[in-house]
Amino acid sequence: MPANPDDFTVTPYAVEGEIDYDRLLEQFGADRLTDAQIARFPEPVHPLVRRKVFYAQRDVEPFLEAATSGQTHSIVTGRGPSGSMHIGHIAPFYFAKYLQDQTGALVYIPLSDDEKYFAKDKSIAEISTYTRENLREILAIGFDPNRTRIIIDTTDADVIYPLAAAFATEVTQSTVDATYGTPENIGLSFYPAIQATHLLLPQLVEGPHSTLVPIAVDQDPHVRLCRDIAAKQRYDVMKPGALLSKFLPSLEGPGKMSSSSDTPSILLSDDRETVREKVRTYAYSGGQSSVEAHREHGGNPEVDVSYQFLYYFFEESDERVEQLAREYRDGALLSGKLKEIAATKIADFLEGHQKRRAALGSLDEELRPYRITANERQIARQRVGYSDGLLI
């Protein structure tokens, strides 16, 4: 972590320090999500939006117009399978499912197993194991297979690589260095072209339409670079829009929940007792050092991890989260009780997810309806100038 508390780093490959989200908007050149834009989301507006966990955006207006007027629109949100999934990973997928249910959105879910091999000290076999495990978690969410495509970079290389090769000519190495820092290897140098393929693939299959990318703010560089490619107008695509979210905090306090941290994350596979123990033992408290002091001075829900979990994702009722914050500040609600409430809500959510995951059949069978079809692959390749594997 940087020595100066005012310093922080936010990139797709590193998040360090205490993050100033306002300064990030200045650095990245994104715009704050406004109340007027929030009001245009289909009712009921998801808590992640109405509570401004998704706090910034790029070109969200075209997506909202398409989503509320019956036009074709899509959502892209993916996963880098380098480990078991935790509760911070799953929120964007449930948000995408929510919008799909409301508006009939197409949802494209890329799994960047190649990038994780480039970026992590893990074998191909390890990445493959995590890919299959992560796929089961994603399938358990229950996306509509008729309106959802799941793409795995190495498995679907016949469509991913030709598109990425076309987009790679639009990006210079100096642009990659300026956007990401100096890559550790040539795989990471090339990966932005693959990420652009992920974000533009719905349009390359379905034709030009508005696409929204709901992601944590550290992934915004991928969107910025892809938007630059789309702006050159060589491929008849619209610039993808983005919703940028704050990070679900780690149990230890401010920052990003990470599977690689020394403090454990709450995994999607954790049972109720494990969740309770992790929250009780590790969740950073905004309360006072004694019951007497807490009763007198109250706690701070803004830094209390248990409250933040409820606020971000696990408590649907706005009235309830406001009540909890008020009682915590007043000292009527103790930290231990707040931890119990959060642990119960998280465990309830996980049990529902785990029940759906357990009901899945074999992975190959379950995944088949979500695979990009041969016709869709051909259409996408043709849109960038390929036919039957050859340049036109």
User: What's the full length of the chain, in residues?
Assistant: 392
* Spatial distance between the Cα atoms of 119 and 117, rounded to a whole number of angstroms: 6
pLDDT at 179: 85
pLDDT at 183: 85
Q: ∠ at Cα 266 (328, 115), nearest 5°? A: 130
Closest listed residue to residue 57, CA positions, set 35, 89, 79, 80: 35
* Domain boundaries along the sequence of the chain: 18-247, 272-358
pLDDT above 90: residue 259? no
CA distances from 235 to 97, 191, 197, 201, 232 (A): 28, 19, 12, 11, 8
* Spatial distance between the Cα atoms of 42 and 137, rounded to a whole number of angstroms: 26
**Residues 160-181: pLDDT tens digits?**
999 999 999 998 999 888 888 8
* Spatial distance between the Cα atoms of 254 and 27, rounded to a whole number of angstroms: 20
pLDDT at 110: 97
* Spatial distance between the Cα atoms of 105 and 149, rounded to a whole number of angstroms: 12
Q: Which CATH architecture has domain 272-358?
A: Orthogonal Bundle (1.10)
pLDDT above 90: residue 362? yes
* Mean of pLDDT values over 142-160: 97
**Residues 182-241: pLDDT tens digits?**
888 999 999 999 999 999 999 999 999 999 999 988 889 899 999 999 998 889 999 999
- What count of other Cβ atoms lies within 10 Å of the Cβ of residue 18? 13
**Residues 48-83: pLDDT tens digits?**
999 999 999 999 999 999 999 999 999 999 999 999
Fold agreement (18-247, 272-358): no
Tell how strand 241-245 and strand 386-387 pair up: unpaired
**Residues 264-320: pLDDT tens digits?**
899 999 999 999 999 999 999 999 999 999 999 999 999 999 999 999 999 999 999
Q: Which CATH architecture has domain 18-247?
A: 3-Layer(aba) Sandwich (3.40)
Place of tokens 């020394």: 262
User: What mean pLDDT value characterizes the chain?
Assistant: 91
Helix pair 186-206, 173-180: axis angle to 10 deg: 100
Percent pLDDT > 70 in the chain is: 92
325 dihedral zone (left: phi>0; alpha: psi -120 to 50; beta): alpha
pLDDT above 70: residue 15? no
**Residues 113-134: pLDDT tens digits?**
999 999 888 999 999 999 999 9
* Spatial distance between the Cα atoms of 354 and 261, rounded to a whole number of angstroms: 24
pLDDT above 50: residue 328? yes
Collect all residues with Cβ–Cβ distance below 8 Å to 207 and sequence separation of at least 6: 72
Q: Check: CB of residue 176 under 8 Å from CB of residue 184.
A: no
pLDDT above 90: residue 44? yes
Least trusted range by pLDDT, from 40-49, 246-255, 338-347: 246-255
pLDDT at 260: 52
Q: Which helix (H) or strand (E) holds 346?
A: helix 335-358
Residue 250 forms beta bridges with which residues? Answer: 253
